């Protein structure tokens, strides 16, 4: 008889938490029970899923004594406080925040890229940043084909990456503009109006002029792909899209490249969908990749600057592959190991 797990979700009332609940049921993860956890202010809320009603409980260290797996999506400060508490109680913590990603003792896992890394966990497994995970659905198969050397990236990040409040802010601002109330817009989530605008500022700025989000692309990709000398520069931009991130990438490889072989590599990779037929205006767009498991890769062409270079475009649902789906896939790896 296959093992069933007592699963908890920390941050169950947030945007990613909601997706986690739906995906666990949709993918028939073997659960004996599901416990929904959040802050004290959300305790007592009712959430309906899979024909059942769940009552949200306050997340405390003691919450994890009755759990086998806990998926965290409540922010870095919550993870720093509670992930170690879960781990020391024998509960495997899968963390969506950046709190433990670069800890050398913690595996940073994208199941299509480095599934074996899960085997070395010490009850803590980190989920990568959303733009990193989505970009790797193109970078990994191309690395296998040609040997990745360095890349530049510009991101086009949807507001749902910030959370429910940001999604509401975009919707409200669009409504106000439609009513001619532009002058009354007072941004709260972002430093500037996001409707009909793009903001080249995701996360906090560092002393080197890059943001933390931009440095995550370099450091996390190096760790996940075991490429410590990989070079990268990324510019992260918030755009007025509700859901699904896109990334423009220019990459240089060790071996000679071809568009045909690149397309073959993408098409055969489990996390990617080749969508590359510009003659018929076929290319990935956020509109068509929200709620999809695979990330779309298209606009593949020979780079006009790099030697052995390719330019390409990726779109993917950051609430799924960039967060909830990747976390559930990690849990599935754990369950597969226990069989």
* Cα–Cα nearest to 106, from 95, 213, 115: 95
How far apart are the C-alpha atoms of 40 and 31, rounded to whole Å? Answer: 25
3-state secondary structure of 108: strand
Read out DSSP for 269-321? STTEEE--BGGGTB---GGGTTT-SSEEEEEEEE-SSSTTEEEEEEEE-TTII
130 assigned to active site: yes
- What residue ranges in the chain does DSSP mark as E strands? 5-10, 31-38, 46-49, 52-55, 57-58, 69-72, 92-95, 124-126, 148-157, 231-238, 245-253, 272-274, 295-302, 309-316
Q: Which residues contact 106 (CB under 8 A, 6 or more apart)?
A: 100, 121, 122, 124, 125, 126
**Contact criterion met (CB below 8 Å) for 27 and 332:** yes
204, two tokens: 């906090």
236 assigned to active site: no
**Contact criterion met (CB below 8 Å) for 53 and 47:** yes
Q: Which residues contact 252 (CB under 8 A, 6 or more apart)?
A: 149, 150, 151, 303, 306, 307, 308, 309
Q: Which residues of 273-293 are buried (b: 16+ CB within 10 A; e: fewer)?
A: bbbbeeeeeebbbbeebbebb
Catalytic residue among 91, 143, 236, 245: 245
Catalytic residue among 91, 130, 236, 295: 130
| Active-site annotation, residues | 130, 245
């Amino acid at each position: 008889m296959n093992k069933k797990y007592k699963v908890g979700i920390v941050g169950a009332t947030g945007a990613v938490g909601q997706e986690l609940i739906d995906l666990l049921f949709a993918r028939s993860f073997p659960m004996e029970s599901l416990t929904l956890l959040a802050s004290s202010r959300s305790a007592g809320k009712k959430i309906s899923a899979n024909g059942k009603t769940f009552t949200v409980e306050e997340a405390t260290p003691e919450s994890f004594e009755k759990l086998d797996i806990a998926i965290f999506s409540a922010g870095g400060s919550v993870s720093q406080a509670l992930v170690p508490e879960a781990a020391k109680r024998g509960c495997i913590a899968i963390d969506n925040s950046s709190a433990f990603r670069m800890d050398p003792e913690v595996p940073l896992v994208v199941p299509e890229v480095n599934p074996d890394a899960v085997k070395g966990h010490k009850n803590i497994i980190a989920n990568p940043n959303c733009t990193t995970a989505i970009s790797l659905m193109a970078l990994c198969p191309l690395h296998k084909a040609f040997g990745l050397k360095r890349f530049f990236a510009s991101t086009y990040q949807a507001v749902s990456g910030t959370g429910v409040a940001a999604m509401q802010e975009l919707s409200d601002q669009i409504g106000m503009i439609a009513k001619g109330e532009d002058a009354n817009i007072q941004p709260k989530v972002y430093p500037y109006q996001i409707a009909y605008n793009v903001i080249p500022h995701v996360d906090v700025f560092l002393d080197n002029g890059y943001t933390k989000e931009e440095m995550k692309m370099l450091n996390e990709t190096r760790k996940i792909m075991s490429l410590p000398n990989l070079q990268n520069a990324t510019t992260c931009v918030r755009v007025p899209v509700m859901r699904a991130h896109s990334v423009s990438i220019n990459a240089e490889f060790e071996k000679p490249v071809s568009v045909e072989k690149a397309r073959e590599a993408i098409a055969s990779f489990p996390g990617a969908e080749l969508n590359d037929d510009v003659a018929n205006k076929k290319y990935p767009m956020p509109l068509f990749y929200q709620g999809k498991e695979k990330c779309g890769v298209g606009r593949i062409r020979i780079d006009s600057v790099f030697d052995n270079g390719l330019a390409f475009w990726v779109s993917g649902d950051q609430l799924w592959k960039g967060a909830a789906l990747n976390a559930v896939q990690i849990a599935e790896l754990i369950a597969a190991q226990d069989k």
